[in-house]
Amino acid sequence: MPKTDVIIIGAGPSGLFAAFYVGMRDLTARIIDPMAEVGGQLSALYPDKFIYDIAGFPKIRAKELVRNLVEQVKPFDPIYTLEERAERLEPLDEDGFAVTTSSGRTYLSRAVIITAGVGAFEPRRIEAEGVARLEHKGLEYAVRDARAYAGQRLLIIGGGDSAVDWALTLKDLADQVTLIHRRETFRAHGATVNRLIAAAEAGELTILTPYELQAVLGEERVREAVIVDKKTGRVRNLDVDAVLVLTGYVSKLGPIAHWGLELEKNRIKVDTRMETNIPGVFAAGDITTYPGKIRLIAVGFGEAATAANHAAAFAHPRLRVDPGHSSDHPPEGRPSVARSSLDD
Ligand SMILES: Cc1cc2nc3c(=O)[nH]c(=O)nc-3n(C[C@H](O)[C@H](O)[C@H](O)COP(=O)(O)OP(=O)(O)OC[C@H]3O[C@@H](n4cnc5c(N)ncnc54)[C@H](O)[C@@H]3O)c2cc1C
């Protein structure tokens, strides 16, 4: 079974920064997250909003901060295991842990850091006839490969940044794009909505509001969508090849609640080393609790550094907890962490 020094559960800002510090200790890391992209709440909930309280950045867009975190950890080449949710965490009789995910795969590590935020993000699934049956048969909740929509008649559902951004991106690739939203106004960033309206006026795509999906039809694959005008009740049938549902995410603490961790109001209790009640299992970021806890990205970064360095010393007791200064040990030019030593 594939083994890394550390498994990090959750690819939000705390998890990405924890992976950076694991790399600074010349150790290997696997980051697991059920989302298709990294960034946690920043990617799922507010990619285009500016953040003003990251030390050293007077102002930075959430998606840019995520991009920077990915860039920062790149020299250490962590393994990203995306679209898999950690379901089970088991201490092994010999040293280390086994983490089993929603894919049924099991990954091993010497130490674990839980940076699961407010829980696992999953697409907000919609209920309408044919939707569950045709998932992955033309109906998707995320764009896996934009090229798959080349030349297709595409229906996009949603009113937030994700739906509007993808409508604008895919209109140049798809044969036809229709965007429906159940309200009359879009929640997306103002400038993007203006571009959307301009594209519709230029005949590059069609916007229908307030419309809802009533059914998706097709045997082997999506063939037709039935949509309803919420104002008039009028039903329309659209010939489509694909349906993209981009209506946001819901989060659930889910399986973490059953791992034997000491919890307080759905948060994991940690000590000053960010260690939980299970030796070798650390936590950082929004998921942790202790007296005086504040939930901010800046705080999560500090906790991630503490958790990662203690996890490193737990994984390899020969290592000191104190990492020294990065200015003395720059990431560049180091021999890359021996990925080949992993049986992945
Ligand atoms: C609209 C909005 C604006 C905000 N603005 C600011 C701001 O200006 N400044 C600030 O400091 N903070 C802000 N925050 C809060 C900030 O986003 C959070 O503090 C931060 O995202 C916490 O990071 P995290 O890495 O701990 O958790 P998260 O960002 O929540 O990431 C956790 C990740 O863990 C994954 N996960 C959960 N369970 C599992 C599992 N079982 N298996 C695998 N993966 C799992 C989730 O899918 C998620 O990707 C804002 C929040 C919101 C919603």
Q: How far apart are alpha carbons 194 and 207 in whole angstroms?
A: 12
Question: Residue 54 CA: which ligand 1 atom is closest?
Answer: 11
pLDDT tens profile 2-42 = 899 999 999 999 999 999 999 999 999 999 999 989 999 99
- Beta bridge partners of residue 112, listed in sequence order: 7, 281
Q: Whose CA is nearest to atom 2 of ligand 1?
A: 46
Instruction: Provide the pLDDT confidence category of residue 46 given band limits of 50, 70 and 90.
Output: confident
Structural domain tally of the chain? Answer: 2
Q: Are 244 and 154 in contact (CB under 8 A)?
A: yes
Does a structural domain hold residue 12?
yes
Residues in Cβ contact with 76 at an 8 Å cutoff, skipping those fewer than 6 apart: 19, 20, 22, 23, 24, 29, 331, 336, 337
Residues lining ligand 1, CB < 6 A?
9-15, 32-35, 40-42, 45-46, 51, 53, 85-86, 115-121, 254-256, 285-286, 295-298, 300
Polymer length of the chain: 344
Q: At what angle do helices 62-73 and 13-24 cross, to 10 degrees?
A: 20
Looking at the structure, tell me whether residues 170 and 225 fall in a common domain.
Answer: yes
Handedness of CA 51, 57, 58, 61 (dihedral sign): negative
Ligand 1 centroid to 249 CA: how many Å? 12
Does a structural domain hold residue 342?
no
Ligand 1 centroid to 169 CA: how many Å? 26
Q: What pLDDT sits at residue 343?
A: 46
Last residue of a domain, one of 232, 247, 262: 247
Q: How far apart are alpha carbons 299 and 306 in whole angstroms?
A: 11
Looking at the structure, tell me whether residues 291 and 236 fall in a common domain.
Answer: no
Looking at the structure, tell me whether residues 39 and 134 fall in a common domain.
Answer: no
Last residue of a domain, one of 228, 247, 266: 247
DSSP characters over 192-207 = HHHHHHHHHHTTSSEE
Looking at the structure, tell me whether residues 314 and 286 fall in a common domain.
Answer: yes
Residue to mutate, 66, 297, 303, 306, ligand 1, most ligand atoms under 8 Å from C-beta:
297
Does a structural domain hold residue 26?
yes
Looking at the structure, tell me whether residues 139 and 284 fall in a common domain.
Answer: no
pLDDT tens profile 228-253 = 999 999 999 999 999 999 998 887 78
Ligand 1 centroid to 286 CA: how many Å? 7
Looking at the structure, tell me whether residues 231 and 272 fall in a common domain.
Answer: no
Residue to mutate, 41, 61, 82, 295, ligand 1, most ligand atoms under 8 Å from C-beta:
41
Does a structural domain hold residue 103?
yes
Instruction: Output the domain CATH number for residue 70.
Output: 3.50.50.60
Q: Whose CA is nearest to atom 38 of ligand 1?
A: 120
Name the 3-class secondary structure at 219: coil
Range of the domain at 160: 125-247
For the segment 199-227, the average pLDDT, to the nearest whole number, is 97
Closest-CA residue to 5 (of 110, 146, 161): 110
Q: Are 316 and 30 in contact (CB under 8 A)?
A: no
Is 211 marked as binding a ligand?
no
Q: Are 179 and 206 in contact (CB under 8 A)?
A: yes
Looking at the structure, tell me whether residues 71 and 154 fall in a common domain.
Answer: no
Q: Whose CA is nearest to atom 14 of ligand 1?
A: 296
Looking at the structure, tell me whether residues 243 and 132 fall in a common domain.
Answer: yes
Closest-CA residue to 277 (of 294, 265, 289, 293): 289
Q: Which amino acid is at 283?
A: A
Q: What pLDDT sits at residue 344?
A: 45
Last residue of a domain, one of 221, 247, 273: 247
Does a structural domain hold residue 344?
no
Q: Whose CA is nearest to atom 27 of ligand 1?
A: 117
Does a structural domain hold residue 336?
no
Helix (H) or strand (E) holding 47: none
Looking at the structure, tell me whether residues 108 and 131 fall in a common domain.
Answer: no
Looking at the structure, tell me whether residues 106 and 211 fall in a common domain.
Answer: no
Q: How many CB atoms are located within 10 Å of the residue 327 CB? A: 6
Looking at the structure, tell me whether residues 140 and 242 fall in a common domain.
Answer: yes
Does a structural domain hold residue 182?
yes
Average pLDDT of the chain to the nearest whole number: 93
pLDDT tens profile 94-128 = 889 999 999 999 999 999 999 999 887 788 999 99
Q: How many CB atoms are located within 10 Å of the residue 342 CB? A: 15
Looking at the structure, tell me whether residues 135 and 51 fall in a common domain.
Answer: no
